[in-house]
Amino acid sequence: MKLSYFAAVPAAFVVVAAVSPSLWAAEQKSSAMSFFEGRTESLATIKLVMKKPYKSRSIGRGEIKPDGSLLLVQRVEDEGKPPHERRWHIRETSPGKFTGTMSEAKGPITVDEVGGRYRFRFKMKGNVSVEQWIAPLPGGKTASTKVTIRKMGITVGQSEGTIKRLD
List pLDDT tens digits, range 54-104: 999 999 999 999 999 999 999 999 999 999 999 999 999 999 999 999 999
Of 52, 42, 19, 16, nearest in space to 133 by CA: 16
Please report how many Cα atoms fall inside a 13 Å half-sphere around the Cα of residue 147, on the Cβ side. Answer: 37
pLDDT of amino acid 4: 42
Residue 97: what pLDDT?
96
The beta strand positions in 37-165, using DSSP E, are 38-48, 54-64, 70-78, 84-94, 97-102, 109-114, 117-124, 128-136, 142-151, 154-165
Straight-line distance from the first to the last Cα atom of the chain, in angstroms, rounded to the nearest whole number: 35
**Which residues are bridge partners to 146 per DSSP?**
133, 160
100-130 confidence digits (pLDDT tens): 999 999 999 999 999 999 999 999 999 999 9
CATH level 2 (architecture), domain 4-165: Beta Barrel (2.40)
Task: Indicate yes or no: pTM above 0.85.
Answer: no
